[in-house]
Amino acid sequence: MSDDDIRAVLMDLAEERGAGSTFCPSEAARRLSDDWRPLMDDVRRVAAGADLVATQGGTPVDAATAKGPIRLGLRG
């Protein structure tokens, strides 16, 4: 799975949800593969470099290093 494939799915999900809404990174991983759990580290890593904001409990965090569940959404 390429970073470009992951980034495309992340951005599609963010745009589908629209401004002010978020999604779980696992939703992107599930769109990419039936065996989605091994993709989670890559999804978070790519999300950290994409034009997305990651939050945890409503507070911005680094998607690549945050521990525990996060949400992703469009910036601004």
| Reported confidence tier of residue 21, pLDDT bands at 50, 70, 90 | very high
H-helix or E-strand containing 41? helix 40-49
pLDDT of residue 38: 98
Share of the chain above pLDDT 70, in %: 100
Task: List pLDDT tens digits, range 27-45.
Answer: 999 999 999 999 999 999 9
Q: Per the structure, how many domains does the chain have?
A: 1
* Residue-range definition of the domain harbouring residue 33: 3-74
CATH of the domain at 64: 1.10.10.10
Distance CA 58, CA 76 (A): 14
DSSP characters for 10-32? HHHHHHHH-TT-EE-HHHHHHHH
